[in-house]
Amino acid sequence: MNIPVTTWSLEQTSPADLRPAAEPTEDLRIVRAEVPSPEFSRFLYTAVGGDIHWIDRLSWSYAQWQEFLARPGVETWVAYENGTPAGYVELEAQDEGAVEIVYFGLIPAFRGRRIGGHLLSYGLARAWDLADRWPNRDATKRVWLHTCSLDGEHAMDNYVRRGFRLFDTKVEEQAEVETPGPWPGAN
Q: Provide CB contacts within 8 A for 175, sequence distance 6+.
A: 1, 2
What pLDDT, on the 0 to 100 scale, is given for residue 182? Answer: 63
| Residue-level pLDDT at 180 | 65
pLDDT of 153 reads 81
Residues 130 and 141: their CA atoms lie apart, in Å, by 11
CA 104/CA 162 separation, integer angstroms: 13
Beta-bridge partner residues of 183: none
Report pTM. Answer: 0.92
Residue 78: what pLDDT?
A: 98
pLDDT score for 177 = 72
The full set of domains in the chain, from first to last, is 2-175 (3.40.630.30)
pLDDT beneath 50, residues of the chain = 187
